[in-house]
Amino acid sequence: MNAASNVSAIVQKEWKHYFGSPIAWVVLFAWTFLFGVFFASSVYWYVQQTARMSEGMGKASVNDHLIRGLLQQMSVVAMFITPMITMRLFAEEKRQGSMELLATSPLTDLQIVLGKYLAAFGLYALTIAASLVNFAALWMYSTPKPEWKPMAAGVLGLLLLGACYIAIGTVLSNLTRNQMVAGILTFCVVLALFVLGWWADDPMGGPFFKVLAYLAVNNHLNDFMKGVVNLKDVVFYLSFAGFGVFLANQSVASQRWRA
């Protein structure tokens, strides 16, 4: 088997576990339900705002006054959803004793880590895709219709943000045998990064605060929500996720060596 086949086998194994247990269904329900609630409230607020505007001023922008706020709300929901997706990746394997079987299989550490990471990211991407039916309805019935490019940029930002959160969860899941502990640790780290960005994002702050603000993953989401795909933000997200996968790989390798 080549490397791609090995990674694909791990992805399929993880998806069987996800959908063979309540995890995937709870994640899908929670995300789509909250997306629907926020979408309905955003549409109601947008209609109210538009009704208050005079005819001479025209209608409020659907992208600016509805979609942007909705996606920003879902970026907060992602902090709660991603720990649920990643908490069992390695912790459950260790609890059941199946991690030893993986370690002795003809798979490299990187293939194991990549397979688990891609499976978790795939489930996260599926939750986002399942909720896009709301945007399809908005596209069909809204007047004027929203612009699809800013909408796509916002969705891309959500995907990249989730990729970073999942990388964090992948690392932390390998540090414990208890998936609940892994989930709580992941949420605490993700929340700390969120608060760090809010606290350190001060235009009057010195170089130290600017570095802290730059490391906060949520701060790089702003341009995406405005419909702007900035290369430096894409590179940051991919680098952050790649570094998380690297750390997870090093952690698995060190545990194999100690064993």
Residue percentage of the chain with pLDDT more than 90: 38
**145 or 21, greater pLDDT:** 21
Residue percentage of the chain with pLDDT more than 70: 85
Residue of 154, 17, 35, 33 lying closest to 86 (CA atoms):
17
56: pLDDT confidence band, cut at 50, 70 and 90? very low
> Considering the entire predicted model, what is its pTM?
0.89
What residues have CB less than 8 Å from 25, skipping those under 6 apart? 19
* Contacts within 8 Å (CB) and 24+ apart, 22-31: 23/84, 23/85, 23/88, 24/123, 26/84, 27/81, 27/84, 27/85, 27/123, 27/127, 28/126, 28/127, 28/130, 30/80, 30/81, 30/84, 31/74, 31/77, 31/81, 31/127, 31/128, 31/130, 31/131
**37 or 66, greater pLDDT:** 37
Tokens of 170: 């992948």
pLDDT digits (tens, 9 = 90+) for 131-145: 888 888 777 776 767
Given this model, what pLDDT does residue 187 score? Answer: 94
Given this model, what pLDDT does residue 200 score? Answer: 61
Given this model, what pLDDT does residue 51 score? Answer: 66
Given this model, what pLDDT does residue 222 score? Answer: 85
Given this model, what pLDDT does residue 203 score? Answer: 61
Q: With 90 as the cut, is the pLDDT of residue 124 above it?
A: yes
Least confidently predicted of 104-118, 142-156, 225-239, 240-254: 142-156
Mean predicted confidence (pLDDT) in 13-38: 91
Q: With 90 as the cut, is the pLDDT of residue 64 above it?
A: no
